Amino acid sequence: MAKEKDVRKLATDIRHFKSNLERYLEDSQKELSRYRSWEHCYVQFQKAIISRKVDRDMLCLWLAWYLASWGMLHNSELLNNNYKIHRSIVDAILDMDKKDLKLLNNLKCQDWLDDKENCRNKLNELYQEIRDKYEALGVTGTDTLVTKVLLGTLGCIPAFDNLFKEGISGKANWHRRTLAVDYVTVLCKFYEKNENSINKTLLSFHSSKGKATPYPQMKILDMGFWKKEK
């Protein structure tokens, strides 16, 4: 296991984070918004994790539509395949060791910080497995694709697409050696430091709308650092 990179500075402060979060939450209220695709996919996988009766074929469909909504068919080999291309990835997630699945599912920032080495190792193992399975199917297992899958199924890491990368580092294009997992610790520290302020923003919004979506902490980080294109 390579040593975690020392990533200290984030390009977005708490003020801009909360502004991004509020804008995302507002846009997600639209019933037909593509932002809701993440929610639909995540909820179905959460049900599958606790259920003995699981339709894995339908989970592939939920995952495929979520990824399509978030631009993953653009310039991707996924465009040449139907939703069943995701079956081995769904199996890899649901067939994980129960202890590891419990560790990563809806991973909380404080849990990461308390058991960073173990969490990082398990997350990296699953990341590599998903990447390898896509590669075996002729699909490039990019950081963006793999982290979007992990966010939409387990909520255990933000989706590291170019807009998120720009939000946390100030630049969209990273050196290939800069891995998404290298940023998780500094993101978790940011969340823990600003948790009260973030929770107030969420509570204020949900109180005004009368509906509360139980977003996992990694999704909240994803929403707050994601820089919407102008």
Q: Is the pLDDT of residue 46 over 80?
A: yes
Q: Supply the pLDDT for residue 172.
A: 54
- pTM for the model stands at 0.89
Cα dihedral sign for 152, 153, 158, 162? negative
Mean pLDDT of 119-140: 95
State yes or no: pLDDT of 176 exceeds 70.
no
pLDDT at 207 over 90: no
Give Cα separations from 125 to 77, 96, 122, 131 (angstroms). Answer: 23, 11, 5, 10
What is the C-alpha separation between 142 and 160, in angstroms, rounded? Answer: 10
pLDDT of 11 strictly over 90: no
In angstroms, the first-to-last Cα distance of the chain is 39
pLDDT top residue among 166 and 135: 135
Residue 173 pLDDT > 60, yes or no? no
Angle at 158 between CA 133 and CA 207, to 5 degrees: 135
pLDDT at 113 over 90: yes
pLDDT of residue 211: 60
Q: Rounded to the nearest 10 degrees, what angle do helices 195-209 and 217-225 cross at?
A: 90
Q: What angle do CA 46, 107, 10 make, to 5 degrees?
A: 130
pLDDT number for residue 10: 81
Quickly state the pLDDT bin for 8 (edges 50, 70, 90). low
For 50-87, the pLDDT digits (tens) are 987 899 999 999 999 999 999 898 878 999 999 999 99
**d(C-alpha 140, C-alpha 214), whole Å:** 32
- 3 state DSSP class of 116: helix
Task: Give the residue extent of every domain in the chain.
Answer: 14-225
pLDDT band, residue 230 (cuts 50/70/90): very low
Half-sphere exposure (Cβ direction) of 83: Cα atoms closer than 13 Å: 13
